[in-house]
Amino acid sequence: MPLQRLFSTFPSGRPGIGLFLLRAALGGTALLLGTLELTALIGRSPIVWMATSILLASGAGLIIGFMTPLASSLVGLCVLGIMFTWIPAPPLTTMVAVLMVITASAIALLGPGAFSVDGHLFGRREIVIPPRSDEQ
How do residues 75-125 score in pLDDT, each as one tens digit?
A: 999 888 888 876 666 666 777 888 889 999 888 888 888 888 888 887 777
Instruction: Bin 65: left if φ > 0, else alpha if -120 < ψ < 50, else beta.
Output: left
Q: Who contacts 67 (Cβ-Cβ below 8 Å, separation ≥6)?
A: 61, 118
The reported pLDDT for the residue numbered 27 is 93
The reported pLDDT for the residue numbered 99 is 86
pLDDT at 64 over 90: yes
> Over the stretch 124-134, which tens digit does the pLDDT of each residue have?
777 788 888 77
The reported pLDDT for the residue numbered 3 is 52
The torsion of the CA quartet 50, 33, 22, 47, rounded to 10 degrees, works out to 20
* Averaged pLDDT for residues 19-33: 90
- Residue in 127, 121, 44, 56 with CA at minimum distance from that of residue 87: 44
Assessment of whether the complete model's pTM goes beyond 0.85: no
- Residue in 73, 66, 59, 60 with CA at minimum distance from that of residue 118: 66
d(CA 35, CA 115): 26
pLDDT at 57 over 90: yes
Average pLDDT, the chain: 82
DSSP state, residue 134? T
